[in-house]
Structure 1
Amino acid sequence: MKMRVGLGLVLLGVLMVPSHALDSEQKRGKALLQSLCSRCHAVGPTGASPHPDAPPFRTFGDSKLYDEDFALRLQTGLSTIHKDMPSFQFDRPEAEAAVNYLKAIQVRNRRR
């Protein structure tokens, strides 16, 4: 009986761990993106973007985030033709932290 209770507590503890546990670099990236981007974009793993034309960051997908040039584009100055979006320029550690956070929150196709 004691073993079952102990096992149950262990399983409960595992189930309570957040599904998006972030490492320290990803936490820095999240904080950076929240301070710069959350006025328009949904920065977290859930929720709608405040600006209707701003996609939630969790939907950026593999094509944009795993492009090796994305972190470099953040460093050289990210801009867009969208009239409401300001230009941003990140240093290398900021760009890497932002990209690693974005990779951590991407919605994945779970069908297999």
Structure 2
Amino acid sequence: MTYARNQALGAYGERIAADHLRSLGMVILARNWTCQHGEIDIVARDGDTLVVCEVKTRTSTTHGTALEAVSDRKVTILRRSLARWLDVHGVSPDGVRIDVVTVWVPRSGGPRVERIAGVA
């Protein structure tokens, strides 16, 4: 898969993930927020909890599942980025959570979305 196609697939998955989170009653606060530590795909509010979402979009499991792609290193990057987001925005939520949203895009039919809450 080419870089441009990967980028387009990732952007599509993030749009699907954001729509899914909204359908669950979450409020999207930021998308593709970057800092010196890395990027947060989606920052959302779930009630009084601030949620950082890593979105993984896949068309096959040739290179493993979407959830398997979230390594310990990635979780460390998300934690550091979350701390920076909180500092930059001056907020102290009642709770914070890291979720993974997987988007499976089959060859036919619509995408399937799964949210795994509290992976770290």
Above 0.5 in TM-score?
no
TM-score, L = length of structure 1: 0.25
The higher radius of gyration belongs to 1
Structure with higher RCO (Cα < 8 A, 6+ apart) = 1
TM-score, L = length of structure 2: 0.24
Structure richer in helix, relative to its length: 1
Structure richer in strand, relative to its length: 2
